[in-house]
Amino acid sequence: MKTIIEPFRIKMTEPIKLTSKSERIAALKKAHNNIFLVDAEDCCIDLLTDSGTGAMSTKQWAAMMLGDESYAGSRSWKKFESTIHNITNIKHVFPTHQGRAAESILATTRLKPGDMVPNNSHFDTTRANIEFVGAGAVDLLTDAGLDPALEVPFKGNMDLRKLENFIEETGVEKIPFCMITVTNNTGGGQPVAMENIRAVKEILKKYGIPLVIDACRFAENAYFIHENEAGYENKSLLEIAREMFAYADAATMSCKKDGLANIGGFFICNNDAWAEDFKNLLILKEGFPTYGGLAGRDLEVISVGLMEALEYDYQVYRHATVTYMGEKLEAMGIPFVKPVGGHAVFLDAKAFLPDIPALQYPGVGLVNALYIEGGIRGVELGSVMFGKRDENGVEIPANLDLVRLAFPRRVYTQSHFDYMIEVIEEVWKNREEISGYKITYQPKFLRHFTCHFEQVN
Ligand SMILES: *Cc1c(COP(=O)(O)O)cnc(C)c1O
Nearest-CA residue for atom 11 of ligand 1: 123
Least confident of 28-42, 365-379, 389-403: 389-403
Nearest to 267 by CA among 258, 257, 255, 256: 255
Does the beta carbon of 92 sit less than 6 angstroms from any atom of ligand 1?
no
215 CA from centroid of ligand 1 (Å)? 9
189 CA from centroid of ligand 1 (Å)? 12
**Helix, strand, or coil (residue 158):** strand
pLDDT attached to residue 430? 97
The whole-angstrom separation of Cα 111 and Cα 154 is 30
Tens-place pLDDT, residues 164-191:
999 999 999 999 999 999 999 888 899 9
pLDDT attached to residue 425? 98
125 CA from centroid of ligand 1 (Å)? 7
Could you tell me the pLDDT band of residue 146, with boundaries at 50, 70 and 90?
A: confident
Report phi then psi at 178, rounded to 5.
-120, 145
- Please, which residues bridge with residue 436 across strands? 456
Could you tell me the pLDDT band of residue 1, with boundaries at 50, 70 and 90?
A: confident
Does the beta carbon of 51 sit less than 6 angstroms from any atom of ligand 1?
yes
The whole-angstrom separation of Cα 89 and Cα 249 is 10
Does the beta carbon of 265 sit less than 6 angstroms from any atom of ligand 1?
yes
98 CA from centroid of ligand 1 (Å)? 8
Average pLDDT over residues 337-341: 93
The CA-atom distances, in angstroms, between 206 and each of 172, 286, 305, 457 are: 10, 35, 36, 58
Residues 110 and 308 sit within 8 Å (Cβ to Cβ):
no
**Helix, strand, or coil (residue 276):** helix
Angle at which helix 218-228 crosses helix 296-309, to 10 degrees, equals 10
Does the beta carbon of 181 sit less than 6 angstroms from any atom of ligand 1?
yes
Nearest to 156 by CA among 246, 86, 216: 216
Q: Which domains does the chain have, with CATH numbers?
A: 21-50+312-456 (3.90.1150.10), 58-308 (3.40.640.10)
234 CA from centroid of ligand 1 (Å)? 30
Does the beta carbon of 99 sit less than 6 angstroms from any atom of ligand 1?
yes
Does the beta carbon of 190 sit less than 6 angstroms from any atom of ligand 1?
no
Does the beta carbon of 186 sit less than 6 angstroms from any atom of ligand 1?
no
Average pLDDT over residues 111-134: 95
Share of the chain above pLDDT 90, in %: 93
Give the global pTM. Answer: 0.95
Nearest-CA residue for atom 12 of ligand 1: 123
The whole-angstrom separation of Cα 282 and Cα 287 is 6
Helix (H) or strand (E) holding 364: helix 362-374
Is residue 389 scored above 90 in pLDDT?
no
332 CA from centroid of ligand 1 (Å)? 33
- Please, which residues bridge with residue 116 across strands? 136
Average pLDDT over residues 33-50: 97
The whole-angstrom separation of Cα 434 and Cα 141 is 34
Is residue 386 scored above 90 in pLDDT?
no
122 CA from centroid of ligand 1 (Å)? 10
Mutate which of 51, 186, 190, 381 for ligand 1? The one with the most ligand atoms within 8 Å of its CB, which is 51
Is residue 387 scored above 90 in pLDDT?
no
328 CA from centroid of ligand 1 (Å)? 29
Tens-place pLDDT, residues 394-418:
999 988 899 999 999 999 999 999 9
Q: Which atom of ligand 1 is nearest to the CA of 256?
A: 7
Helix (H) or strand (E) holding 179: strand 178-181
Is residue 445 scored above 80 in pLDDT?
no
Tens-place pLDDT, residues 252-298:
999 999 999 999 999 999 999 999 999 999 999 999 999 999 999 99
pLDDT attached to residue 446? 83
